[in-house]
Structure 1
């Protein structure tokens, strides 16, 4: 159900304002071209560059594959049309990207979440700075990438791990180019949402350089450098969830929900909410290097390495509402809700609005720092003989992340607070007194926080050997077989500290704060300030020293994973059935052994003790793909396979913590998890009716027999039963879907040859459900029933423009690093505009506007639109850069 419409007035307004610009910009070159054609009556061949070239290259990859794939590709260095690979992936059929800090980030494919997508670079599995296995695609700038292939069917020679899809990034290979090229690009980026923040500059930049050298087709090198500063400050309103025992089994064990009106039925209330305004300064620096040596016609050696370093600093000004009395723990706030001055509104049994006396307003000033690095290195050797070919591959990747969040808190209590977070509108908070004018105290009962330093390290080493032999005289033309070994270790630890004010608290002078109004939301003004100065006054010098933190052993874990894979595959290429039939059939064998180390409590009263748990599983994964070449422009494809996705690494941790008070609860990983498993069938019809055009229909069916989700289950230790939140294997379900792709230049309309369209629509039907809430489970993560993309483009020798629209219906997401934090992402409609002008063969100016309609992000919890989860306003992003090619 769409509870927050995609703001049609904003969409219509943006379209009205952008279409004239789009049409006016393209009209002059189009009319000029038409006039020239009419006067000379000479038909010239259209030069294909930029957007059009990328679309054509992608069609070549799709048409020549033996599998059902979608692709992004460009033969020209640094000329992919989007800023990051995540933005390009988001426009492919059946793919949606979730936004983080306003950037497209992780991908969901064909109704399945990011945990079921395998990400690779140059065909290699890579480490990740996320706790699970997920790849954050925005890490990869388009300037160092030659293409992306999304494999929607499986083949025996692909690494096992993608139930939804396998997404492979290909970096630049120097011998794919001729001669010597140097490409430089740079320019400013403006983030509109941060323009009114005090003492904040919303201007950032992007810069890159790529150098390619090819020496007589035998030796080549490619070097890429990228740098970016992102300054997208924005407001975010967050709901803290609801006190609702019935939704978390065993009933009544997690929360004590009060009965406000005495009718014998509990009335769930929100735990609280907060507004956060983040002033973000994010820098990314990266370097890539590739070398290729073609020693002879039969031997080639490739080396590639990629390094990326991202630093994030956020000055956060947060205000928390109702910490003390909204949640009504065990009916303890009955008096507040039934005070003569109070009132509340119930919708479907939930309290969605209320007026309460003396609800707390807590100012939280925080600094957040995060540093994450990724290094990926690979060496690949290929020998090709008359019949045999041998490919060996070695790779190493490491991802690291260190982050720390430090906060100081002050608190006031206005006489009355009125709040409304119901569905269909924006959240509102009204207080009887302006909280920013009330004396601010850092209380001794609610201290600050130092969450961190937190460390995550992921290291992966892999080797693969693939052999192939051509066959003569029969239906089968090739046999392939090979093996792959990998060793991966992911470990995590976290330190914590809670500084506090001295007895009686500390008053913070109002002069140390700055008052800020979040103009787009109906909430009281909030306080901003310098964390270091205010924390020093409230808590003393020790508050600024993270070395005071002690390690939380419950957060220390390590998972080691050893994977052995082998496969055999028969390829065929024959004209005995149709004009031509190609494809392959094979089987892949998978053996996985894991060792999970962590700390557990035997009971809620006992100390944490180290524990190590071993697990292993094996899978046999057959696959077959067949392609009927009905004629030179039409393909009919079928694929069938059994697929798996290995469990998220953080959910394999052996940690377990238990409470020592009522209600008895706990939190644990599950080292015995089995993988996601599915049997799937695919069909695809592709008609390439013009050299740059495609009409495609794809249908698929997935029978997911094993699914991993979070639940609270009763576990008994030393005679005490705890409600332990833990990931478990459960039944999956069935997914059916269809995708339609239509793209073409308007070659069939006189005078419009330089115009074109790229569009796709995807429909998914799924009965997969998450395991919570127990009374009304969420749909499986990633399941968006409808997804649509429409791009209108113009491309001439010197000028290009693209107006792109993307829509998706609501779907379940895991927000953040906690796999148990499931929320529903509301429908989104995003409009982007991109233009470029080529002054000469070597100089191009590009201008882009992302999120023209200023589409917000909105989430809700527990499958109930009234329970707001998150509301972010990222604003528009403007990019202007210049590309110079030597």
Structure 2
């Protein structure tokens, strides 16, 4: 007895992770795809049949709570309310509701960039199989429309049977499968969305989906087929305004106050255009008997976009006068001879330094006269195609289950971008540095809307890139369930994968013909209607429109050839630059062994869990190119660089879950996880470009073939209480000890006598992250009739992160991209055919980039330059009304409070940028027959 108690105590003390029934072999969908789900009558009360049927929001939340409760891992789920109805309009938008998940708003106003507990090293799977976009490790969640999904599971802990690759955790997106449907089912949806920022040019943006499934009983067993398609098209606009780099006014025009620090100018941009997302998926399943299933399934997800930008820039220091208003904050800055930041300050220990320490006061605003102005017009045509095809089987031999899956993915991304700048001198720019933590500027008379005097400015730039990634994968595992005893089951399996990635690019272009502002636009022989009105930016001239090159012309090859000739280069499309290309091959062999256990401590207290390990070996070959200059002859040549690397890792895990009875349970998890560097990060080549704009640094980028995989020891402990009709509260404490975290930093290099700021990845060394997640949902069934349809949902996460690498310039600072606080708070209502929710999502301030080697001045009291994002929150809502049991209409809104994204440099009072996030409203209809 004593030995048993000691063994029990040891097992309870294990800390680990293990997911729901999601092995490495495309498991069965844990979320029912039936039109309605019967919930246990002991929890929900009874009707005349002894069951109560729950649909809509409550059904999806109840099923998500069930997955959370039954999983031995720390997992949160999102379940579709009905076919084609994830709770939010996009996958990434739905993910932001999960405790501990943080997101950002992308350039086209979509929610993107999901992070789990502040970390973006996520392995993404589709029906249990790894999926990615292009040549990256990650997946762009916006590439898969929400209408296609039955649900999403967010794994915050790992276990041996899960595919390795996510220090932060994993996200599994679940498509529906044919055998989930019992009879002929035809379901679909249609909606129109209004995007506020698109303004008068806006149209109602359509989205539609259709799913058809059926099932047949035949002489050879059950056969089922399902096909789903969806399409969406959005026309959008996203305005941005920012201060240019901060500089000492001693570098401003003669007569300017010499002892201030002010932005060198003002810039704005508006990204606009349209994009389309077609998607199709299918599932064929055959069950010859109750113990056997064969399947074939596939997915196509596409993106088509014509993305335009208009970027007006005003160079405040290029004029004849610069009159700044002094603020009351004066500090010491490290100033170089050019008035920008200097990392080479003269001192007793550095007598040859070129920079000096100077006391400068802040300029709260300025008026600049007779300055250079230009508008960059960018036209980009983009296309992404993702194909996934898989086949396999699930077979039961009594207590033994055998699963095998073979899959192939191809992901191709193409971008073709063309940029031309036009500009002139304007009489006056009036800029205010901080207006509601944003920048604001006016140009009296709006001279940017007058074509007189416009000339070609700066250089012409083309960015043509192609990337393709492929993955072959074979996964097979077995599980044996024991009948009683301490050992519950034993499972093991293997995965063999081969990944290829290829990237090629041309990026560059010549300076303006004859120099900036020399060749008039009118002398170029371009079409007479080459100029069009660009959408305005609210922070510039109160949103007034301005002229730009018609970006649609820049998509036409004839116009491109004409412009290349004007810029005195070959009219033909430029060839790819070998210094920017790379090819990679990666082979992974992984095997796992895991045992589950369970036992009772008393009549009401039981313990279960698992102990296992995953062994993985990865070998890769990557080839890139760099340009090398011979110092003797000053000639340069392209040199091919090849590197081969390999690594072997053992990833153990263990878990214990204690069920105390009455709905109270606790779990303790431990796992070692890893994230491999992306192929772009490993590229041994180096490329760089010379800037034709004095306020923009020469820049370049390169990979680092010596990068190590990131690894983490991950600990989770939770206490959860489930009660009433699908209610719960939970608390999860977590800790991550991270080694060799990869970040992108900058360093200054001198190449052929010119200085470049080179962006390159590096292993940070060590870091830690810890925190607490609180969450729950409560349906207020005890309220009087009519109000008993109310419910509340919410979660709160606090994260403490720190770089712990001794001597690193980021030591002691939070990890980039990590907000300390994150919460969701929402109300739901479901009764009388009405289904509604309103949710407020908040994310606290965070830093997202290291700009230490940038041009911008910063006080010497701030040794590290960081780009910061202010705290922000947004309110979304959804309202559905069931016209009939089979037809529902819906109304939804996102960011209805009009929240903006506001950036700063290093310190909140150094205002940098404001991004005008969009507000959208959607009206739709769904049917399910």
Q: TM-score, normalised by structure 2?
A: 0.80
In structure 2, relative to structure 1, the CA distance for the partners of 1:150 and 1:651 (3 Å cut) is same
Q: For 2:628, what is the secondary structure of its paired residue?
A: coil
2:718 to 680, 684, 693: 684
Once the two structures are TM-superposed, the CA of residue 593 in structure 1 deviates from its matched residue by 1.3
Question: Are 1:764 and 2:796 matched, yes or no?
Answer: no
Structure 2 counterparts to residues 106-121 of structure 1, below 5 A? 106-112=113-119, 114=120, 116-121=121-126
Asked whether the 8 Å contact 1:356–1:416 carries over to 2, the reply is yes
Structure 2 counterparts to residues 482-501 of structure 1, below 5 A? 482-496=493-507, 498=509
**RMSD in angstroms over aligned alpha carbons?**
3.8
Question: Which residue in 2 is equivalent to 1:527?
Answer: 547
In structure 2, relative to structure 1, the CA distance for the partners of 1:666 and 1:82 (3 Å cut) is closer
Question: Which residue in 2 is equivalent to 1:25?
Answer: none
Mean Cα deviation higher: 650-659 or 117-126: 650-659
Question: Which residue in 2 is equivalent to 1:507?
Answer: 521
Once the two structures are TM-superposed, the CA of residue 442 in structure 1 deviates from its matched residue by 5.6
Question: Are 1:57 and 2:63 matched, yes or no?
Answer: yes
Asked whether the 8 Å contact 1:71–1:147 carries over to 2, the reply is yes
Asked whether the 8 Å contact 1:414–1:432 carries over to 2, the reply is no
Question: Which residue in 1 is equivalent to 2:608?
Answer: 582
Question: Which residue in 1 is equivalent to 2:42?
Answer: none
Q: For 1:295, what is the secondary structure of its paired residue?
A: strand
Asked whether the 8 Å contact 2:324–2:364 carries over to 1, the reply is no
In structure 2, relative to structure 1, the CA distance for the partners of 1:840 and 1:590 (3 Å cut) is same
Q: For 1:358, what is the secondary structure of its paired residue?
A: strand
Q: Deviations over 1:690-735 (max 9, x none)?
A: 2311111111111112211223458899999987542111223221
In structure 2, relative to structure 1, the CA distance for the partners of 1:603 and 1:755 (3 Å cut) is same
Question: Which residue in 2 is equivalent to 1:872?
Answer: 915
Question: Are 1:418 and 2:464 matched, yes or no?
Answer: no
Mean Cα deviation higher: 672-681 or 292-301: 292-301
Q: Deviations over 1:336-366 (max 9, x none)?
A: 69x5756666775576743334332102223
2:490 to 462, 479, 483: 479
Q: Deviations over 1:382-438 (max 9, x none)?
A: 111123221111111111111122122211112332323448433112335532255
Distance in 2, matches of 1:675 and 1:262, equals 55
In structure 2, relative to structure 1, the CA distance for the partners of 1:365 and 1:293 (3 Å cut) is same
2:683 to 653, 658, 673: 653
2:626 to 589, 593, 600: 600
Distance in 1, matches of 2:808 and 2:261, equals 14
In structure 2, relative to structure 1, the CA distance for the partners of 1:650 and 1:340 (3 Å cut) is closer
Once the two structures are TM-superposed, the CA of residue 55 in structure 1 deviates from its matched residue by 0.4
Question: Are 1:235 and 2:239 matched, yes or no?
Answer: yes
In structure 2, relative to structure 1, the CA distance for the partners of 1:770 and 1:556 (3 Å cut) is farther
Question: Are 1:740 and 2:774 matched, yes or no?
Answer: yes
In structure 2, relative to structure 1, the CA distance for the partners of 1:721 and 1:573 (3 Å cut) is same
Asked whether the 8 Å contact 2:65–2:726 carries over to 1, the reply is yes
Question: Are 1:174 and 2:211 matched, yes or no?
Answer: no
Distance in 1, matches of 2:50 and 2:398, equals 43
In structure 2, relative to structure 1, the CA distance for the partners of 1:538 and 1:55 (3 Å cut) is closer
Asked whether the 8 Å contact 1:58–1:74 carries over to 2, the reply is no
Question: Are 1:849 and 2:884 matched, yes or no?
Answer: no
Asked whether the 8 Å contact 1:772–1:778 carries over to 2, the reply is no
In structure 2, relative to structure 1, the CA distance for the partners of 1:865 and 1:565 (3 Å cut) is same
Once the two structures are TM-superposed, the CA of residue 102 in structure 1 deviates from its matched residue by 1.4
Once the two structures are TM-superposed, the CA of residue 229 in structure 1 deviates from its matched residue by 0.7
In structure 2, relative to structure 1, the CA distance for the partners of 1:363 and 1:384 (3 Å cut) is same
Q: Deviations over 1:207-234 (max 9, x none)?
A: 0001121224822111101010111223
Q: For 1:281, what is the secondary structure of its paired residue?
A: strand
Question: Are 1:135 and 2:179 matched, yes or no?
Answer: no
In structure 2, relative to structure 1, the CA distance for the partners of 1:57 and 1:859 (3 Å cut) is same
Structure 2 counterparts to residues 387-402 of structure 1, below 5 A? 387-402=399-414
Once the two structures are TM-superposed, the CA of residue 875 in structure 1 deviates from its matched residue by 2.6
Question: Which residue in 1 is equivalent to 2:77?
Answer: 71
Asked whether the 8 Å contact 2:194–2:205 carries over to 1, the reply is yes
Question: Are 1:436 and 2:448 matched, yes or no?
Answer: yes
Mark the runs of 5 or more structure 2 residues left unpaired by the alignment. 1-46, 334-361, 851-863
Question: Are 1:627 and 2:657 matched, yes or no?
Answer: yes
Distance in 2, matches of 1:716 and 1:517, equals 40
1:811 to 838, 842, 846: 846
Q: Deviations over 1:226-264 (max 9, x none)?
A: 0101112231224555579xxxxxxxxxxx99699999x
In structure 2, relative to structure 1, the CA distance for the partners of 1:715 and 1:498 (3 Å cut) is closer
Structure 2 counterparts to residues 460-479 of structure 1, below 5 A? 460-472=471-483, 474-479=485-490
Q: TM-score, normalised by structure 1?
A: 0.84
Question: Are 1:84 and 2:90 matched, yes or no?
Answer: yes
Question: Which residue in 1 is equivalent to 2:202?
Answer: 201
Mean Cα deviation higher: 187-196 or 620-629: 187-196
In structure 2, relative to structure 1, the CA distance for the partners of 1:240 and 1:308 (3 Å cut) is farther
Mean Cα deviation higher: 296-305 or 537-546: 537-546
Distance in 2, matches of 1:773 and 1:865, equals 23
Question: Which residue in 2 is equivalent to 1:6?
Answer: none
In structure 2, relative to structure 1, the CA distance for the partners of 1:852 and 1:532 (3 Å cut) is closer
In structure 2, relative to structure 1, the CA distance for the partners of 1:352 and 1:567 (3 Å cut) is farther
Distance in 2, matches of 1:746 and 1:739, equals 23
Q: For 1:292, what is the secondary structure of its paired residue?
A: strand
Structure 2 counterparts to residues 698-847 of structure 1, below 5 A? 698-712=732-746, 724-751=758-785, 752-768=787-803, 774=809, 779-813=814-848, 823-847=867-891
Q: Deviations over 1:553-592 (max 9, x none)?
A: 2221122222111111011122246622111011111212
Q: For 2:214, what is the secondary structure of its paired residue?
A: strand
Distance in 2, matches of 1:341 and 1:668, equals 41
Mark the runs of 5 or more structure 1 residues left unpaired by the alignment. 1-40, 245-255, 327-332
1:540 to 547, 551, 562: 562
Question: Which residue in 2 is equivalent to 1:248?
Answer: none
Distance in 1, matches of 2:539 and 2:806, equals 34
Once the two structures are TM-superposed, the CA of residue 806 in structure 1 deviates from its matched residue by 0.7
Asked whether the 8 Å contact 2:508–2:689 carries over to 1, the reply is no
Q: For 2:783, what is the secondary structure of its paired residue?
A: coil
In structure 2, relative to structure 1, the CA distance for the partners of 1:133 and 1:858 (3 Å cut) is farther
Asked whether the 8 Å contact 1:756–1:793 carries over to 2, the reply is yes
Q: For 2:607, what is the secondary structure of its paired residue?
A: strand
